[in-house]
Structure 1
Amino acid sequence: MANPGLDVAQLSESQQLALGTYTSVTNQEPSAAIPLLQRSEWNVQIAIAKFFDGEAPDPVAEARAALPASPPAASSHRETLNEFPSFRTSPASPSREPAPRVVPQPESQKSYAPPVLVQILLAPFNILTKIVGGSFSLIGYLLSFIPRLLPGLFVTRPSPRIRSGRRPLSPRDTAARFARELEEDYGSHGLHFFEGSYSQAYDLAKKDLKFLLVVLISPEHDDTASFVQETLFAPEITDFLNSNASELLVWGGNVQDSEAYEVSTSLNCSKFPFAALVAHTPQNSSTSMSTIARISGTVSPSAFVAPIRRAMEQQSSILTRARAQRNEQQATRSLRDEQNSAYERSLVQDRERARQRREAEAQQANAAQAARMKEEAEQRQVQKREQWRKWRAQTLRPEPGAGAVDTTRISIRMTSGERVIRKFDAQADVEELYAFVECYDLLGANDGAIQTKPDDYKLSYKFRLISPMPRTVYDVESGGSIADRIGKSGNLLVESTDDDDSDS
């Protein structure tokens, strides 16, 4: 039995998975789905079959119904578990039989192939049966002239056209064939039969909370022709069915078809022609379809319409309330889905904003780190340059004395406008001139500390020495001695290359 106080959060993981699978197929509320799943031992397939086919009578429930009525509070508490509210039926209301959902097995799947060994053992009997059957067929064909020679002994009676060996068709084609045969055999009619299988009409009636009128005929029955022509095709019945087409589905079948035969068996049809009115009965069970009216045999049009109209009037108010509650539940579900969708979109937007914010912060952090590393590298280059200048100022060759012979006298005009005249060793490299200009401001400012050359550092001079007239550039990259490049004397200018690297 279902526990009325059971909450979804109290279910196990497997039970919650079964509940989600069941509700996704049946679109039923969890409050009504949990009791049905419990009665089905949490088997999803059995619960879905019960939802569409209806539940069989429960002996335990019937025994409990025979006991004195429970207090109103408990009854009201149990009603909240159903998808639709419980409605009490009056004692005068007729008993309702469950109308199961019939899905016939395709003809292609009904053949049974015995094992190969059994086929081998039965092969002689099959051959003998075919031989005997063929012999009787030959004898019947040879003696077929006897009825024509003795017509008085053989009296033939006219019989309605009976179609044997009906080829199985699809549900839609079977329904079209049924309507076409009615028109061919009994004349035109104004009825609109459902174009599909019984299970499709059953599901549509259950889904839309409509009535389903099932009409079954047997061409072999003697009253079929009078029933169809005088009752089913009567204007009173066609007008009634067509006027209620918005809430009434009409499905018909010939019991010579497998599906109609199975439907007649499931509806406990004992006499043809037969009609049954099927409707969803939430007052009995939240998952059942019941037969609320039955008509067997040949009746007048008024006798045919009266029970159908009476049953529809009794059930219409219940189905109207059920439709209203289902629409309310659907509106609530739609509103909840829209809220969940809006919440999901908001979450996506928040995640996107957070991602963009993290990317911007990461870019700022990377830019700040790159700037800091660049500044530190520049500072290290400045320190290494200063260390190199101090080291090079200590390693410059001293100016040759007055008695020196192989010397070159050079006048250098600095970028500040100061002119410096100094003698250099004629065999010294041109780089000595560049080092002298680079370290000129450090000459004479030696504090006595011995400087070392910085590792992995090569100074790049940011100036060049030129001779104004004619203009001659004495670059340090070409090398050579001072005497070879400049001669005994020279007049040079220091030209900065910081803003004009293209001329180097």
Structure 2
Amino acid sequence: MLNLSSCYLHHTYGKMDDNEEELDQEQTEKLLLFQDLSGIEDIERCKRILQQHNYNIEAAVQDTLNESEGRPLVYNQPQSQPQERPPTVDTQPFVQRVYTVARPLPSHGWFQWSYMLILLPFRIVYSTICNLFPWIARMLWNDPRLNVVDPQGDVLKFVRYFTELYGLVHPNFYLGTYSQALNDAKRDLKYVLVYLHSNEHQDTDHFCRTTLANDDVTNFVNEHMIFWAASVDTPEGYRVSRALKENTYPFLALIVLRNSKLTVVLKIEGPIEPEDLVAKLTRGMRDNEGYLVAARQERADISLSQNLRQEQDEAYRESLRQDEEKEKKKRVEQEKLEQEEAARKEEEQRSQQLKEDKIRMRLEKAANLPAEPDADDPECVRLLIKLPNGVRLDRCFRKTDSLEVIYDYVYVQDDVPEEFQLQTNYPRRVLQCQPAGEGGTTPIPTVDEAGLKPKEMLFVQDISD
């Protein structure tokens, strides 16, 4: 009965497409045995439970019984989170190809199956105790691999180890942390190929020497993707292994930005030949290239929109600047006009004030002029004064009158210039009608002292300019 079911199950699930994990003979037998022990008719559910427990029948049966009785799970306890978490990576994308290459195991006969069924309760008890002890130990003592202290140092340590052991022919290692590699891939829209190295696995050495050291693999990876690697014995590698949920080694995961989220689009688990690795990586890239094209186009649109917005902002700022310059120029011109208007008004006020002062002074000087003496007076001097416009003034003065009296007489006339001086006809000389010397200390001479004749002609000279 078991062999018939095994054959049927192998025929149904043994050959799957690239989107599902292949089952070897041992896994198929464990799947049937678990279905018989658990009583679960849904074969897909049995398969998922076994996969969650890495095909450990004892752990799967115990946890199934605990779950049905409402007790906490023993073999599927979540581990504590690492101190530094890398960027979120979706390990369950819509389309994910998982390739597992397993070694064939020897088949079991009826005797072996009967023996296994007899020992199954003891093995369950023994496995429960063995698994409880590490779980309790993890509760009491922290796993040193959970404490990520120097993630980059872990990566560099592995790179040095790999190079010393396997030589220089290998893909170029990314010399940063896992988080930095994901950030660079997201920024540059590139693929990230993650390799997790386990020294304890039997296929690791062969994979490193024949596949990773292959020239075609090296050239292909260097040309198309970022290659990040670490050992699961280090905290950084162990943390990444928990995040990517690997099942066996050698382990490779292809990660790319998909729908604005870093996603594992391909897992390759187990030994693989160089040509098969290149072919599967090529297929994984081809299937997901559309997402990168869409991301590049989206970024180009965003960049174009930003550039357009920046140009609009610059044009707006330039318009504001020109408006400010126009306003400033207008304000300067307005201030200039206001200053000119103020100066003009000030000048008009000053001119008006001068006119008013002159009128007042003329009135004062006219009022202070001494009376004109008689022409028959022997002390009288008759002066004929000619203005620049040709008007002639005729008046008598006393010999004892100061020349300032003559100046004031001319000053109060209507057609006299703003500034003027008096001069004789012959010999031509300028009369001192105002105090001379520093501070005006030199006295003004009288008519007699000035040597004017009883009949003299004087000229008014305009010195306003």
Same fold (TM over 0.5): yes
Give the stretch that moved more between structures: 341-350 or 413-422.
Answer: 413-422
User: Are residues 1:480 and 2:444 paired?
Assistant: yes
Q: Compared with structure 1, are the counterparts of its residues 414 and 318 closer, same or farther at alpha carbon in structure 2 (3 Å cutoff)?
A: closer
Q: Which residue of 1 aligns with 2:193?
A: 213
Seen in structure 2, the aligned counterparts of structure 1 residues 356 and 239 have a Cα distance that, compared at 3 Å, is: same
List per-residue Cα deviations over 1:413-433 (Å, max 9, x = no partner). 433445545332333332211
1:379 matched residue in structure 2: 352
Report the CA distance shift for 1:426/1:258 in structure 2 as closer, same or farther (over 3 A): farther
Secondary structure of 2:362's counterpart equals helix
Q: How does 1:281-320 map to 2 (within 5 A)?
A: 281-282=258-259, 286=260, 288-302=261-275, 304-320=277-293
Residue equivalent to 2:464: 498
How far apart, CA to CA, are the structure 2 residues paired with 1:56 and 1:341?
44
- CA–CA distance in 2 between the matches of 1:420 and 1:328? 98
Task: Give the CA deviation at 1:353.
Answer: 1.8
2:464 alignment partner AA: D
Deviation string for 1:335-357 (max 9, x for gaps)? 22222222222222222122212
Question: Which residue of structure 2 aligns with residue 396 of structure 1?
Answer: 369
Corresponding position of 2:236: 259
CA displacement at 1:439 relative to structure 2: 2.0
1:230 counterpart residue number: 210
Q: How many residues align?
A: 324
TM-score between both structures, scaled by the size of structure 1: 0.55
Contact 2:388 2:460 survives alignment (8 Å): yes
Secondary structure (helix, strand or coil) at the match of 2:431 reads strand
Amino acid at match of 1:224: T
State the one-letter code of the partner of 1:344: R
Tell me how large the CA RMSD over aligned residues is.
3.8
Alpha carbons of structure 1 residues 358 and 421: separation in structure 2 relative to 1, 3 Å: closer
**Secondary structure in structure 2 of the residue aligned to 1:386:** helix
Cα deviation for residue 390 of structure 1 reads 3.5
User: Within 5 A, what are the aligned runs for 1:188-203?
Assistant: 188-203=168-183
Q: Distance in 1 between matches of 2:306 and 2:448?
A: 99
Cα distance in 2, alignment partners of residues 50 and 275 from structure 1: 20
Aligned: 1:463 with 2:420: yes
1:249 paired with 2:226, answer yes
* SS of residue in 1 equivalent to 2:164: helix
The question of 1:53 aligning with 2:88 is answered yes
Which residue matches 1:325?
Answer: 298
CA distance in structure 2 between the partners assigned to 1:51 and 1:429 by the alignment: 113
- The separation in 1 between residues aligned to 2:85 and 2:163, in whole angstroms, is 37
Give the 3 Å change call, closer, same or farther, for CA 488–351 of structure 1 in structure 2: closer
Structure 2 counterpart of 1:486, one-letter code: A
CA contact (8 A) 2:255 2:264 kept: yes
Aligned counterparts of 1:280 and 1:179: Cα–Cα separation in 2: 26
Q: Find the residue that maps to 1:289 and give its secondary structure.
A: strand
C-alpha deviation, 1:367, in angstroms:
1.4
Cα distance change on mapping 1:486 and 1:347 into 2, 3 Å: same
Question: Does the 8 Å CA contact 1:426/1:483 hold for their aligned counterparts?
Answer: yes
Classify 1:55/1:307 alpha carbon distance in 2 versus 1 (closer, same or farther; 3 Å): closer
Contact 1:408 1:487 (C-alpha < 8 Å) held by counterparts:
no
Deviation at 1:391, TM superposition (A): 3.8
User: Is the 1:216–1:253 contact (alpha carbons within 8 Å) kept by the matching residues of 2?
Assistant: yes
Alpha-carbon distance in structure 1 between the residues aligned to 2:151 and 2:420: 98
Deviation at 1:382, TM superposition (A): 2.0
- What code does the residue aligned with 1:385 have? K
CA distance in 1 between partners of 2:331 and 2:91 (Å): 61
Counterpart of 1:249, as a letter, is I
What secondary structure does 2:374 align onto?
A: coil
Change (3 A) 1:94 1:183: closer
Alpha-carbon deviation of 1:227? 1.9
Trace 1:392-431 onto structure 2 (pairs within 5 A). 392-402=365-375, 404=377, 406-431=379-404
Bigger Rg, structure 1 or 2: 2
Distance 2:86 2:203 in 1: 37
Q: 1:365 to 1:183 in 2, by over 3 A?
A: same
Match of 1:473, SS state, is coil
Q: CA deviation at 1:476?
A: 1.1
Instruction: Give, in whole Å, the separation in 2 of the partners of 1:197 and 1:258.
Output: 11
Deviation at 1:192, TM superposition (A): 2.2
Aligned to 1:187: 167
Instruction: Report the Cα offset of residue 215 of structure 1.
Output: 1.2
Q: 1:217 to 1:170 in 2, by over 3 A?
A: closer
Shift of 1:220: 5.3
Q: Residues 475 and 199 from structure 1, CA distance in 2 versus in 1: closer, same or farther, beyond 3 angstroms?
A: farther
Distance 1:298 1:270 in 2: 13
Which deviations, in whole Å up to 9, do the C-alpha atoms of 1:56-92 show, x marking residues without a partner? 99xxxxxxxxxxxxxxxxxxxxxxxxxxxxxx95xxx
Structure 1 gap ranges (5+): 1-48, 58-87, 97-167, 443-458, 500-504
Q: Offset of 1:362 from its aligned partner? A: 2.2
Residue 411 of structure 2: aligned partner: 438
In 2, the alpha carbon distance for the partners of 1:199 and 1:55 equals 14
- Which stretch of the first structure deviates more once superposed, 224-233 or 324-333? 324-333
Contact 1:427 1:481 in 2 (8 A): no
CA offset at residue 406 of structure 1?
A: 4.5
* Residues 346-355 or 402-411, more deviating: 402-411
Give aligned-pair identity as a percent: 28
Alpha-carbon distance in structure 1 between the residues aligned to 2:279 and 2:154: 29
